[in-house]
Amino acid sequence: MKKTLGWSLALLLTAGIAQAGDAKEARKAEMLKKYDKNGDGKIDAAEEEAIRAERKQAEEAKKAAQKAELLKKYDRNGDGKIDDAEEEAIRAERKKGEEEKAAKKAEMLKKYDKNGDGKIDAAEEEAIRAERAKEKKEKEKAR
């Protein structure tokens, strides 16, 4: 029995390693297909530089999109900048969010922290999951 269990575990481990290796090989093939411009089967310095440039461009585009979203949300006077008053509004909104989060945490602790240690342990977490599953089932039943 022990021997069978040992072999089973070894097979599972080997299969997991093989899958990880397969995923790594697939990723490598994908990278070569996309970036190996000279077709030599390797990523040379120039191709590596192109990868870095593409990633930098993607990061800059992401930052620009985030900035545009912030301006859209907080630039009340439409001047394309976040001035002191608008920045204060951002801080106030964040503070309110943090306070709401702290209040929700306190409420959760009050409701579920049965041993009063100020934390939700595994048993208490399981009780939360069970309660939520029950509520979900009741909602589905009510439909």
Per the confidence metrics, is the pTM higher than 0.85? no
Domain layout of the chain by residue ranges: 19-113
Encoded tokens for 28: 């490598």
For residue 102, what pLDDT is reported? 95
For residue 143, what pLDDT is reported? 79
For residue 78, what pLDDT is reported? 93
Does residue 7 register a pLDDT over 80? no
Encoded tokens for 44: 């040379």
Q: Could you tell me the pLDDT band of residue 28, with boundaries at 50, 70 and 90?
A: confident
Cβ neighbours for 44, distance < 8 A, ≥ 6 positions apart: 38
pLDDT tens track for 65-80: 999 998 999 999 999 9
